[in-house]
Amino acid sequence: MRKLVFTLLVALFMLGAAFGAKYVVGLSLSTLNNPFFVTLRDGAIDTAEKLGIELIVLDAQDNPAKQLNDIEDLIQRGVDLIIINPTDSDAIVSAVESANEAGIPVITVDRASNGGKVVCHIASDNVEGGRMAARYIAKVLNGKGKVVELVGILGTSAARDRGKGFEEEIAKYPGLQLVAKQTANFNRAEGLIVMENILEAHPDIDAVFAQNDEMALGAIEAIKATGKLDEIVVVGFDAIPDAIEAIKKGEMEATIAQQPYLMGQLAVTKAFEYLTTGTVFFPVELKLITQENVE
């Protein structure tokens, strides 16, 4: 994938240079208080520099109202395209529609918008990621045990899709019981507090699936305080550096890896591609058919 992105960058740079392209693109992120989105931003900035794009990065601080104001500001500045990582998939709809009315194309990244017109959406397969976490927990617990799910920001497509995949897969194991499911808003401090409360009500749990690593790391702190870290399996999502360190130390069992830098790269690459050519191109893998595999 990285080789493909590099090839696209070279081709687009040559195309853009031929037309003397110079674009201003806005990038509205849900928060920069999370290493995942910092890495995504870095991928976007590096790619924008290579393509000669002026990139305006705005941090919504997990506040839907601030994000709406930020995007309105980008519209007033007359940017050529806006890349949005929504704080809330429903609340962002009016901002996407405002950009549509202003004739400014929109790309969403990591989290989708539940309305308005977008050029394309750049994201991992979050449903499959949730399934992967459930299958791993089932394997470690031999299909039996009490499980807790820490949910991200309600209304975001990432929280919805990760939960959907996880719960559908867990339901396939009759010996696994989902005893608690609470939101901690993708936040480490809230993950700690929510986990403390859950442990009081359910001191005999066997595993925790947190829909992102920040909540998983908060949950680990709460579990540590009870002295049960060796007894409870914790699985996160994102593979941020702190989570990788926790896995190395044996404090976290696993995390579902995403590629935020590549997401940032792809979002800006697709923005440039759309502004330069008026379309976006997503290659589908080719397959060689011979007499040996023809059906």
Are the C-beta atoms of residues 237 and 211 closer than 8 Å to each other?
Answer: yes
Pick left, alpha or beta for residue 227 (phi over 0 → left; psi -120 to 50 → alpha; otherwise beta).
left
The pLDDT assigned to 121 comes to 95
Question: Mean pLDDT, the chain, as a whole number?
Answer: 92
> pLDDT > 70: what percent of the chain?
93
How far is residue 158's CA from residue 258's CA, in Å, rounded to a whole number?
12
Count the residues in the chain: 295
Q: What is the pLDDT of residue 278?
A: 93
Confidence (pLDDT) at 90: 93
Per-residue model confidence (pLDDT) at position 3: 56
* Region 68-74 average pLDDT: 98
> Please, which pLDDT band fits residue 18 given cuts at 50, 70 and 90?
low
Mapping DSSP to helix (H, G, I), strand (E, B) and coil, where does residue 3 land?
A: helix
pLDDT category of residue 294 using cuts at 50, 70 and 90? confident
**Mean pLDDT computed over 184-188:** 95
Residue 17 scores a pLDDT above 80? no
Q: Tens of pLDDT along 236-286?
A: 999 999 999 999 999 999 999 989 999 999 999 999 999 999 999 877 778
Helix (H, G, I), strand (E, B) or coil at 277: helix
More confident residue, 287 or 226: 226
DSSP state of 6: H
Indicate the DSSP class of residue 39.
H
Please state, as a whole number, how many other Cβ atoms lie within 10 Å of the Cβ of residue 52. Answer: 14
What does the angle CA 268 – CA 271 – CA 272 come to, to the nearest 5 degrees?
A: 90
